[in-house]
Amino acid sequence: MTYDGSFEGFLSLIYESYTKKIVPEDIFPLEEKQQDIFATYEEVHTDEKKARRVWEGLYKKTAWGARSVYMVFLSEMKGVEMLLFRYVQKIFAFPGKFEYNFSDEDVLRVEKIRRRISREAHRMLMFVRFQKTADGMYYAAIEPRYNVLSLVLKHFANRYAKERWMLYDMRRKYGFYSDGKEIIRVTTGDDFAGNRTVWLPRKLLHEEEIMFRTMWKEYFQALSIEERKNPRLQMQLLPKRFWKYLPEKQDFDIGSSR
């Protein structure tokens, strides 16, 4: 069975499989469809009403299980759809809190992936650095392993409730923009300013941003003790893939225009 790759599309697929009594051999986004003359594909179109019915039914049965399905879907891992399909089947089929039955292989795997997604979302909350642009907007770019942007959105919506801001996923080329009143989803092309690095070029920055960035680097350098540097321990406590979010770890020259 194929679907459009969205979470709503996946829920619509579950609805159709139950309605038509179809147990898929495999599930994958339409864009990954294999050209096989011997294969028969059932293409499912996204239907928000059907998706909502599945979500409400699942959430009513187990809020934890429903939340886990959503988070694991965001992993974008190959084959995750079939894992979640079996997981949902078992939750609906068995009484009680089956989502806590960790002796079941699918339940255990879902929980392991859910924890990885949760850790990644938490790390994004820790390392996101907003930059004030010349027009007064706050901008931050992230490049998470998993598609966790929706999981951290509420935090920043509350934190910057009356500000103009944008949180952008460089890897997936989409983000969310807030004008201080409402939040909208935006997509961008390859020529977007934040496409190559999480740091905006100097020409797009507010003077205050330039000043504070310079002050922070000077403060960090003043506190550093050369003789006590321990790069190995530093990488253990703070994996190197997160260094790109820290201004003190950058080599940019505030006075340049790059």
Q: pLDDT tens digits, residue range 62-106? A: 999 999 999 999 999 999 999 999 999 999 999 888 999 999 999
Per-residue model confidence (pLDDT) at position 257:
38
Helix (H, G, I), strand (E, B) or coil at 16: helix
Per-residue model confidence (pLDDT) at position 210:
87
Q: What is the pTM of this model?
A: 0.84
Per-residue model confidence (pLDDT) at position 36:
53
Instruction: Locate 17 and state its tokens.
Output: 């499989």
Per-residue model confidence (pLDDT) at position 69:
97
Distance of alpha carbon 110 from the chain centroid: 17
Per-residue model confidence (pLDDT) at position 22:
87
With a cut of 70, which residues of the chain have pLDDT below it?
33-40, 189-196, 252-258
Instruction: Locate 193 and state its tokens.
Output: 């300013």
Q: What is the C-alpha radius of gyration for the chain, rounded to an integer number of angstroms? A: 22
Per-residue model confidence (pLDDT) at position 197:
78
